[in-house]
């Protein structure tokens, strides 16, 4: 037992309370008792309180807001993928920390949280983005409660923002007619044009996420079955001379999708064109070559986004410019209008559950009220 008699006749109790999961530092408590019996009581009562979660950790004594966010980020780093963590870290360090860093945690109120959100709204940020930021704010202050720094859950009355019309922000997408207007600007005889045409066509007719598409390798494409294996994603973060490739967003994102025959044939043509182009750079095309490798570099996703807007203006296409992610929305709209079942759509998108699909795209599904009324008419 860690009880030692001192030269003055008193007893020192040295109690080990395990290793802190965040810092990795061993936590200890030392107390002085007047007798061996008192020392035993201190030891056993302290251990009991610790195991029952009743003993405040010594690390909870005097957090600054910066230290609190550091612990929040340390926890998140263990819980989420590296790419997701980097996004969270960027938002916390650039958006949240500068505002609250000089604050006294115990004095922060619900009104202070509300005022912070108002500063974000004044920047005309998208409400979906503000809601994401506020989710991390909530996480940080929930951690403050766990650390006994606050007694009240400050964000409990704060509801998610909706757009100015009082409904969720609209999902933008292109109809097949609008997509055809866009795709007609490309000249198949030009290598750069052919690359962009196959890239945007693939995005429109598969609905894969941009990172999933850029990570695809030729071994993931089966020209005989017209199937594409989705099992990785290319992040926007650099690792050495290339971008970091990780597992997909969720376990359900690991999937196999079937592409239409025309798209499959276009991929075969692109493979031949790509092979010739890569040879000029002294690069051999192999099974592990990325399908959407334009030359010796990975395509710049910002350029692929900006090009859409530039092309719509340059060619006077008379269609609203959208971003790359909206090609995923466009694909869903295409499937819904083709009468596809929500379960099939959800599987194709790699959603964990159909409720996720419906939460995002529910308003695109046809209104079934008239169909119901017609059925009731037949029973009248």
Residues 215 and 323 in one domain: yes
- The residues near 274 (Cβ < 8 Å, ≥ 6 apart) are 195, 285, 289, 293
- The residues near 138 (Cβ < 8 Å, ≥ 6 apart) are 155, 158
Closest CA to 119 of 144, 102, 96, 92: 96
- The residues near 112 (Cβ < 8 Å, ≥ 6 apart) are 103, 154
Is the overall model pTM greater than 0.75, yes or no? Answer: no
- The residues near 65 (Cβ < 8 Å, ≥ 6 apart) are 97, 100, 101, 102, 103, 105
Supply the CATH number for residue 316's domain: 1.10.443.10
pLDDT value at 141 more than 70: yes
**Integer-rounded Cα radius of gyration of the chain:** 29
Is residue 211 included in any domain, yes or no? yes
Tokens linked to 102: 């000089």
pLDDT value at 247 more than 50: yes
Question: Any alpha helices (H) in 228-260, and if so which ranges?
Answer: none
Residues 244 and 266 in one domain: yes
- The residues near 131 (Cβ < 8 Å, ≥ 6 apart) are 160, 161
Distance CA 311, CA 192 (A): 14
The three-state secondary structure class of 319 is coil
Distance CA 73, CA 212 (A): 26
Residues 313 and 329 in one domain: yes
Q: Which of 130-134, 336-340, 367-371 has the highest mean pLDDT?
A: 130-134
Cβ burial, residue 216 (10 Å; 0-12/13-18/19+): buried
Taking residues 31-43, what's their average pLDDT? 86
* Higher local confidence (pLDDT), 225 or 81: 225
Residues 53 and 94 in one domain: no
Residues 321 and 223 in one domain: yes
Distance CA 36, CA 12 (A): 9
Question: How much is the pLDDT for 28?
Answer: 72
Residues 200 and 298 in one domain: yes
pLDDT value at 136 more than 80: yes
Residues 197 and 335 in one domain: yes
DSSP string, 100-125: HTTS-GGG--HHHHHHHHHHHHTTT-
Residues 211 and 338 in one domain: yes
pLDDT value at 337 more than 90: no
- The residues near 107 (Cβ < 8 Å, ≥ 6 apart) are none
Distance CA 287, CA 278 (A): 14
Q: Which of 16-20, 88-92, 300-304, 337-341 has the highest mean pLDDT?
A: 88-92
Residues 338 and 303 in one domain: yes
Is residue 374 included in any domain, yes or no? no
Please report which confidence band the pLDDT of residue 51 belongs to, taking 50, 70 and 90 as the band edges: low
The total number of structural domains in the chain stands at: 3
Contact (Cβ atoms closer than 8 angstroms) between residue 220 and residue 229: yes
Distance CA 72, CA 136 (A): 9
Is residue 212 included in any domain, yes or no? yes
Distance CA 360, CA 362 (A): 6
Closest CA to 207 of 360, 58, 363: 360
Is residue 76 included in any domain, yes or no? yes
Residues 137 and 286 in one domain: no
Per-residue pLDDT tens over the stretch 119-129: 999 998 888 88
Question: How much is the pLDDT for 380?
Answer: 55
- What is the span of the domain harbouring residue 84? 65-146
Is residue 160 included in any domain, yes or no? no
Per-residue pLDDT tens over the stretch 289-312: 999 998 887 888 889 999 999 999
User: Listing from the earlier edge strand, what are the strands of the sheet with 255-258?
Assistant: 221-222, 227-230, 255-258
pLDDT value at 22 more than 50: no
Percent of the chain with pLDDT over 70: 85
Residues acting as catalytic residues: 209, 249, 325, 328, 351, 361
Is residue 13 included in any domain, yes or no? yes
Contact (Cβ atoms closer than 8 angstroms) between residue 42 and residue 30: no
Supply the CATH number for residue 136's domain: 1.10.150.130
Residues 81 and 19 in one domain: no
Is residue 96 included in any domain, yes or no? yes
Helix then strand count (H, E) for the chain reads: 15, 8
Is residue 318 included in any domain, yes or no? yes
Residues 233 and 345 in one domain: yes
105, 129, 146 - which closes a domain? 146
């Amino acid at each position: 037992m860690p009880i030692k008699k001192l030269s003055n006749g008193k007893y020192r109790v040295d109690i080990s309370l395990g290793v802190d999961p965040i810092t990795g530092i061993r936590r200890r408590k030392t107390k002085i008792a007047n007798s061996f019996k008192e020392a035993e009581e201190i030891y056993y009562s302290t251990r009991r309180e610790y195991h029952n979660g009743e003993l405040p950790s010594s690390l909870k004594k005097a957090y600054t807001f910066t230290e609190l966010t550091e612990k929040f980020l340390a926890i998140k780093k263990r819980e989420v993928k590296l790419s997701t963590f980097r996004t969270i870290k960027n938002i916390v360090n650039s958006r949240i920390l500068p505002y609250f860093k000089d604050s006294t945690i115990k004095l922060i109120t619900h009104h202070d949280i509300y005022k912070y959100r108002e500063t974000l709204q004044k920047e005309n940020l998208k409400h979906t983005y503000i809601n994401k930021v506020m989710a991390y704010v909530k996480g940080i202050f929930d951690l403050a409660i766990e650390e006994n720094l606050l007694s009240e859950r400050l964000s409990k009355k704060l509801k998610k923002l909706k757009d100015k019309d009082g409904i969720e922000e609209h999902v933008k997408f292109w109809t097949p007619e609008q997509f055809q207007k866009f795709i007609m600007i490309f000249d198949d005889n030009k290598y750069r044009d052919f690359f962009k045409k196959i890239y945007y066509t693939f995005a429109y007719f598969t609905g894969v996420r941009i990172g999933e598409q850029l990570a695809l390798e030729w071994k993931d494409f089966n020209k005989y079955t017209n199937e594409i294996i989705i099992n990785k994603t290319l992040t926007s973060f650099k690792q050495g001379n290339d971008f970091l490739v990780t597992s997909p967003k969720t376990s359900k994102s690991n999937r196999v999708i079937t592409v239409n025959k025309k798209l499959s044939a276009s991929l075969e043509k692109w493979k031949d064109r790509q092979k010739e182009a890569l040879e000029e750079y002294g690069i051999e095309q192999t099974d592990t070559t990325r399908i959407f490798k334009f030359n010796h570099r990975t395509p710049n996703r910002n350029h692929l986004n900006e090009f859409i807007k530039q092309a719509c203006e340059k060619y006077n296409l008379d269609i609203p410019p959208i971003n790359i992610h909206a090609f995923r929305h466009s694909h869903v709209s295409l499937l819904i209008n083709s009468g596809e079942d929500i379960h099939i759509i959800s599987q194709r998108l790699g959603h964990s559950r159909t409720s996720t699909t419906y939460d995002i795209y529910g308003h695109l599904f046809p209104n079934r009220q008239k169909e119901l009324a017609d059925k009731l008419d037949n029973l009248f």
